[in-house]
Every structure is written in C-alpha cells, then in structure tokens.
Structure 1
C-alpha cells in the first residue's frame, strides 16, 4: 500500500473495522508484487502528478504461517523488500495573484500556472479570456478564414498538484473570441491551485482570479426536540445546499436531546492525514417529526478533539487486544495485537474467534494439570526425601500460578507478570 500524507489504513485479512471509524483516504494505491532476484524483475508503479509531501509505504506477505514449529522440521522464509523512488518536477511555475488580472504569454505547448488561495476563502473563480495568437502565420490564417482556429486546445484545474494532461477530461476548444470560467464553491485553502493550458502555438490570454471570503450567517435557533448535525471534512469546508449541510454518512455525526443514549456521538479517524480539517454544525428543532421554529436562541455543545493510541479511549484495543507501540527510525505508530482469534483494526471482528468455553477449558487443563505433581510429592515424603518433596511442591505451586496468569482470557495474577517471569 502506498499512501500520501500518512500511514495506510488497510485490512489485509479482510477483517471488519470498528463502528464509527472513518477509513476514507485521499490518495491510496494498492500494489501486488512477486519475488524477484534480478533488477529487471522489479515491480514498477508509476504515480503521475502526485500530491506534494511525504508518501508512506506499508507491505506484508499474505498467508504467512505463524504457527510455532520445531527447529529443523519446517522451512524458514527469509525475505527483504527494497524500494527506489525516481521522480521529475517542473521548475519556475509562474504565480498568479488573486484580484489582479494578468496578461499571460505562453512559451511552450503545455504551460502551468499556480494560484495561491488564502485561508478563509469561501469560493473563487478563474476567468480565461481575450486569447490571441502571437504567431504572424496564425494571425494571417485567422483573418483569411471564416472558421476561427482554437487558440487554446485544452485547460484543466487541480488543487495542490499539477493536473494531468488528458484531452478527453479537460476543458478545451477556446477560440479567440470566447472565454471560460473555473468556479470552485468549496475550495482547498491556504495552498496552491494549478492551471494547465495547452496551445499549439504561442498565444496570450487574460487571466483573472476573484475570491470571496467566508461569511457567517446566524439563523434564528429554536427548540422543541433539538437535533444537531455535525460534518467533518478534510481540506475543504463541508458542502451546503439550500441551507442544509450535505455530508457523506461516514463523516456525519448526529446528537439529539431525545434520550441519554443520543446526546453524544464519536467519530474515529485512524492515522489522520495532515491537513486543515473543518467541522460544520447545523441545528434543527423537531416536533412530531416536523421541523419547527426553536424556542431558544442558542445551544451549548461540548467538542472533544484528541489523539489517542490505537483505537478506543480507555482500553485502546478493547478487551480482546493489546495496544503496541512501534518505532521505526523516525516513524512511530501504534497498532492492536488481537487475542483469542479476534482480528480487525480494533480487535472487534470475532468471526474467527475461539469459543469462550474452549478458552476456559484450555486454561483449566493447563493450570490443573500441575496437580499431577501431588503423587510425586507424596511419594517423596513417604521416603523422607524432603528436599525432593519441597522442589516438587514449589514447582507445582509456581507453575500453577504462572500459567494461570499467562492467559489471554480468564487470567488470575497474584503478582505482576514482569516479576513472575523471573
């Protein structure tokens, strides 16, 4: 898995994720590679026009046998994984400032321009107009032909990275007397937008960028049955249509005053991608399932945003797992190690779990089997072998408590495990 901005969120064994976990990723790629022993056997995965910043790679071997085997009877699989990154970039991309129209002259067949959109921008537009040819032969053809040639063949706009040149998906066919406007109603802010212009010859055109800052509208809030909808979105302000928040279900939270079970909501984002995250709230008041004017002017909400290891608060992996910290050079992350056959991101998938009765039986057999030391202790006492009897008795007692504490479930510990292993 190759992921931009943060560690990949993946489920190699197709186990389920815990509820309220958002697993959407901006740029996640999946690669399958086979064993290779020569340089030409390497797997090549191209990423065209990648997002800028750090990229992370996570790899695993499928169907890896993790059962304990006696030394010499099984075959050990030794593996290594190497990677080489090769890239090229474009230098000296012109910057266009919002609010200042600019006449631009292209010098190449494919030209790129970047526009900085400051924080707090509600929406912006980019207008391209007054395109003219700068080559005399094309000007003569244009004046002598009734059909105007295309001044610009293709255009494309993309946030934060260069837009790929695709004649089928771009906006093209801009003649000398026409114009085109890109409009972003929910832009990525505090970063660059990149404009692609494709022309067969040297042309000039007027480029104007207009922005609008965020305006806050306070609506008359009222109450009967209070319902608050919250929407989380990365990089952009959540969408609004006709005064209502438009939000995907996996990014939506709802709290109501109907009962204690609905007064709070939680959304978990594993390995969050670095960016500006936005939260939008909308208040509605209901009476008999109908929206009515509220009787109060404001309402107070408690918003708790925090980072925590693994998945859950309190018990990071729940009662069926252990949270482990991993340090790899400069990288640090936490993950759950599941017990008793449980699996999943938070050890909540019990489709392959060991039955509780079998776990209890295993614990009882392992601990109570030490009772078979009693005949040896009794015989040693009858023969006045006091030292041997003491050794057998101590072995029975300490082995019983050791195995009783060394269980994933149904464990009973007299002292700490770290002290007991010595």
Structure 2
C-alpha cells in the first residue's frame, strides 16, 4: 500500500475573523515548512470558500500538480470561519489523484448504470481552527484535485444585505509541499543489470510499454550461497504491494505483477535478508525486468490471447463538451469489433484535459451478428472499461466475465435480445481520469441449452458507441438542468446537474424526496394568480387619474406572473416560459422597484409638473442601472425608499408649513396610510426573513398580496383640481343635456 499519514491538530486560534485570514495563512505556511526535515518545494493557496452541498455545482475544485518521481507529497488544510458566533460546522475535504472526486452524502444517489472507479481518493473532516495534514509517499504524477463542502444546508432564503447570518462563511486554506525526486537506479525493461544489494536495500525504477499486461522481476544469478533476497514491488494507493523472499540459489526468484499501471513509474526494492543460517551480507546479483504485452493485430493467423487494436480516433463535435471515439475511414466513422480475432480484444483511447475530465464518459454496446443469430444457441459477451491497465490474459483459463472490472458489461443470451433492449446496455463514468483507457471485450459461445460451452467461430460482431458528453446524455434525466462551471476560465472546468422539484442525485434520478405533481401545480397557481391582486390597484389608479402609475403596476403584474410561471424550481412540464428566464426575472425586479418609486412620488403630491416628471424619469434610469448591476441587492429597495420618503417628508412639510395644519388629514393617516404601511412592512418582513425553500410558494404569494393591497391604501386620492375639473365636466355635460331637452320641449 501507499504510505499515507494523516495528522489532525487544533491550532491556537480556534476562531478566525476576516482580519486574521492572512495571519492564519502565514501560520499554516510555517507549520507546513517545518512538517518534514527534507528540503522541497512549497505551493500554497489563499483561502477558498466551502458551502453546504446541494449539488456538484456547490463545489470549487482546486488542482495541485505533482511531478514524476517525488519521494513524498504533503498536503495541509486549515479550516476557518469568519465570525466567532458561527457554529462549528464540519468541513469535508476530499482529495483524489487524476480526476475530480465524487461526493457521497446521505442525499447522493447514482443511477444503476453509473459506475464509480476505485480512484486514489481520501476524505478527511476538520472543523474551523483545525489543521489536517496528509503525506503520500511516492505519489503518482499528474493532477491532484481537492474539493471541500459542508453537509449542513441552510434552507432559509436570505436576502442580500439583510440577514446577519450571511456573515457566517467557511473557508479552507491549503498548502502543498513537494520533496525532491526519490533516489532510484533506472532500469530498462528486458535489459540485464548487475547490482550489489545489502540489508538496507536498493531501489530500481522503470516504466513499462503501454501494451503491458504483466511484468516480472527475475533474478538471473547471485555470487554467493545462500542468496536470500527480498523482492518487493512498491505499489500505489488502492493497490497491494507484493513481496517475495526466497533463496535465489535454490529456486527461481521471479516476482510477477499482473495488470500494472501503464503510464507511471514503477519502483521495486531488492535487499538481502537474514536467513536461517544467520547470513547477513551483501550480494552481487544480475536481474532483469521481463514484460509480457498485448499483441497488435498484425496478421489474421492463430487467435491471440490478447489483441490490441490501433488507438481510436477522436471526433470533436461542434458542441462544447462533446467528443466521439471511433475508427475514421474514407467516408464513415464506425466502432465495430470482431471478438474472435483474439481471446480478448483491447481497444485503446485517450481522455484528455481539461474538458474531458469534467464530463461523463458514455459506453454503449450492441450485438450485431454471430453465426447462430437465428438459432436458439446463445453467445455471452463480457467487457468493460479499464483505466491505465490491461487484463492479465496469460492467466490459466482467463475469463473476462469473472474478472474484477468496475465498469463491466455482461451480455448473456444476446441473440434473443431485441435492438431496443440492446440499446440499454450502456455505462456512464462520471468525471473520467485523464490518460490511457481501454475497451476490453471477450466472447463465449454456448450450445442450444445455454449451459454447455463450445468453441466460437469467427464473425461475432459488436457495435459500440463511445463518447464524452456533459452530464448524462447532455441532460439530467428530464428532472434537472445540465450546468457548466468555470467554462473558459483558467480553473477546473466541469459540468453537473442542478435538479428541479427536490429530485436528488448526480443525474437527478432519485425521487425519494421529490415534489408531487399536486405540490408543483399548487406552487405554480399560487405564485402566478396571487399577482391578480394588482388588478384593484390598477383600476383605482386609472379612476384617480394616475395613468403612469397604473401602467407600472400592470407591467409589474405581467412580468411577475410569467416570471413565476417560468420558475426553475419545478419540472419543465409545469412551467411556461414566454421568453428567457433571465429576462423575465430582470423585468420583474425592475417593475417591482419602479412600482415602489412611482407610488412614493405620487404620494409626495409635488405641484410642479416638470419637477414631478423629472423625479419619475430619474428614478427609472437609476433603477434600470441598479437592477442591471445587481438585481438581488437590498439597495434596489432601500435607495428608492429612502429618497422617496425624503421627498415625501419635504413636500408634506412645506404644505403643512404654509397651511399651518396637518397634511394629509388625520383620517387619511388612520384609515389609509397606517394600514397601508402595516401591510407593506408585513409583506417585506415575510419576504426578507421568513422565506425558506419549502414555504417559498406560500410566503412569496403572501408577499404579492400584501404589497399589491397596500397600493390601494397608499395611492393618494384625486387632487382638489382634479375633483373640480371632474365636477365642471359633469355640470357641463348635464347643462348640455338639459339644454337639448329644453330646446326639444320648446320645439
């Protein structure tokens, strides 16, 4: 096994405020520098935030690159919270080599055909004020990915700038310390080498060809007897080291390693041991590394134990995050294999960075034909995807159906399956590791009873589809949205599903807590129909001559209705979107802010029409810029309210100063303004402090009702001039009617 040490210690400062972040970073730097006495290179990062895990989009992956041949890699992580009053939440940190680590929580589920490879993955848990240190001996080269998250999720909907709880933020600082390269003697496979080894042992490193199925360390000769040696293979993480202790003068000293990693540096240790005779001295030996490979398809003679095809071609799509693999010919692209050309067929392909590792690898297989296609006999096809390895096909009676391949597909009775059923034989690999992959396939034929195995003949053809794609088939099972993060930036780019209606899982397939059809329809009706409470305010505005205000209320009602009709919380079938959701949201926020502003200006009763118009148009342009800049900011409400109330106080104060009496009348304060302000404040409090993801449909609908009904009470009555003008117009009409009637009487 890999040598992995985990150290967890409390720092002197258990709580760190924003002002202490830099000092904590320096302290972490000092601790990591003195963690080991071996000189190395340190790379440290400023704090990065961690939040409650809702989906993979909640994460901010970090990447650390490790060069080849390191003696060790030390990773240190420090937890921070920004306020002393914040709870001591557990921070989960997951480290993985080669690819993005999956997050597994109680609310995380995977589809049945979703395969998780046994990656080099380690998870640690720290709390704010603690430091976790991980040390990996002889780490494999390449990228190391780190993600952090908190299991606790606050379901309260917090408005920006209002809730003090928003000050509770959790961060993680990280440090990577790399040693100098490990001291080994490089060996070329198949080349004989002489060396002197003692009890301390000697390390030898080498790389194997990319078609290797196994290698052996063989001692050819030894200068002394007895020659008791220890041959040890130093394995990587999630693999077992292997040791052989023999007297190499009496037996063949051969240490065989099956299915080794193909693109990594292997290290073996040879040392003398104290035997039964008590001998403990150095030996001069000769040894070599023997390599067994999967043979390429060069001729069509006797079947091979393992046949290796040419690497599959990459066919890049015009769409981002989509790549297909196949064999490109003059006029077509195909991916078909004849499984009797070899006992095991291996087809290599390469997953590259950056977009491939942030996507999903899809493999689909279908039996095309075999000689007994129209008979009752059956054929069994076994296969899988292997990362950075090939199966050891030289083992006696090797059977791929019984091999330990994580992403295996086993097609039994394939001749009886319809095309539709065959299309279901597929697997998805989330966030595949960059590097060399292989499709490995093997066919077994059976007699008519399906039990007796017989020899297969040529002509067993399978057709496959292999591609890199975003999420799952570019979507999320119809229950979510496939989103992209860090696209185009110099960061870790990936795709992930954001689920609707409380569906869970990486592909939004878990409906254990999903909202029912009734709940989703109720939410749609409540959030949209509650906007009809604006209708009385529109009618009153038209009746009192506030045409512009009535138009703004109608604008707000229209876009608020269709914004909530297009709300992304529900499934697509329960939504109606007349335009892009972002446009609807922008118009809703803008209309709401304008409704507040125009109502306040109308309440001010400014006599000068030019000044009134200037205030209205200035507010519109200011609110437009504010909504474009940050539509969720509290300033969108606070600024027009403060300015509007200031204008009202100035206008009403001037009127009371000149008239020497209360303005407006006490009746208006008691029966209109006070209830209207109470309704508006109640609605605002519900909106700002009591909304959660579960009660959103009810509380937000009440907010619509409170605000729209408050407009009925806050909108001022007609002015005296309007009333006089209306009275004059009414009297004129009555005089005209009376005059017409008198004339008719005279006539």
TM-score (norm 2): 0.48
Q: Aligned residue for 1:139?
A: none
Deviates most, 100-109 or 272-281:
100-109
- Aligned CA RMSD, in angstroms, stands at 3.2
Alignment partner of 1:268 is 2:428: yes
* C-alpha contact (below 8 Å) 1:16/1:344 kept by paired residues: yes
Q: Aligned residue for 1:18?
A: 111
1:58–1:233 distance in 2 versus 1, CA, 3 Å: same
* C-alpha contact (below 8 Å) 1:228/1:283 kept by paired residues: yes
- Structure 1 residue 302: deviation in Å? 2.3
Alignment partner of 1:319 is 2:478: yes
CA distance in 2, matches of 1:64, 1:122: 47
1:160–1:394 distance in 2 versus 1, CA, 3 Å: closer
CA distance in 2, matches of 1:5, 1:295: 39
Deviation track 1:225-252 (CA, whole Å, cap 9, x = no partner) reads 4443222212222355625313347421
Alignment partner of 1:198 is 2:271: yes
* C-alpha contact (below 8 Å) 1:20/1:266 kept by paired residues: yes
Alignment partner of 1:259 is 2:428: no
* C-alpha contact (below 8 Å) 1:231/1:238 kept by paired residues: no
Contiguous gaps of at least 5 residues in structure 1: 134-141, 143-147
CA distance in 1, matches of 2:441, 2:246: 42
CA distance in 1, matches of 2:173, 2:164: 30
* C-alpha contact (below 8 Å) 1:324/1:336 kept by paired residues: yes
The equivalent position to 2:292 in structure 1, one of 202, 212, 229, is: 212
Contiguous gaps of at least 5 residues in structure 2: 1-93, 273-279, 296-303, 306-340, 344-369, 588-747
The equivalent position to 2:158 in structure 1, one of 51, 58, 69, is: 69
CA distance in 2, matches of 1:204, 1:348: 62
**Count of matched residue positions in the alignment of Structure 1 and Structure 2:** 397
The equivalent position to 1:233 in structure 2, one of 374, 386, 396, is: 386
- Structure 1 residue 188: deviation in Å? 3.4
Deviates most, 230-239 or 353-362:
230-239
CA distance in 2, matches of 1:295, 1:85: 54
Deviation track 1:25-70 (CA, whole Å, cap 9, x = no partner) reads 331111111211xxxx421122233222221111112214252235
Higher helix proportion = 2
Q: Tell which has more relative contact order, 1 or 2 (C-alpha 8 A, sep 6+).
A: 1
Q: Aligned residue for 1:42?
A: 131
1:294–1:363 distance in 2 versus 1, CA, 3 Å: farther
TM-score (norm 1): 0.82
Pairwise mapping of residues 23-422 of structure 1 onto structure 2 (< 5 A)? 23-36=116-129, 41-69=130-158, 71-72=162-163, 74=165, 76-106=167-197, 109-132=200-223, 151-152=228-229, 154-158=230-234, 170-172=243-245, 174=247, 178-189=251-262, 191-199=264-272, 201-215=281-295, 216=304, 218=341, 222-223=371-372, 224=375, 225-240=378-393, 242=397, 244-245=399-400, 246-248=402-404, 250-255=406-411, 256-257=414-415, 258-264=417-423, 265-286=425-446, 287-291=448-452, 297-310=458-471, 312-315=472-475, 317-327=476-486, 329-383=490-544, 385-409=546-570, 410-420=574-584, 421-422=586-587
CA distance in 2, matches of 1:294, 1:128: 39
- Structure 1 residue 319: deviation in Å? 1.9
Q: Aligned residue for 1:2?
A: 95
- Structure 1 residue 324: deviation in Å? 2.0
1:19–1:63 distance in 2 versus 1, CA, 3 Å: same
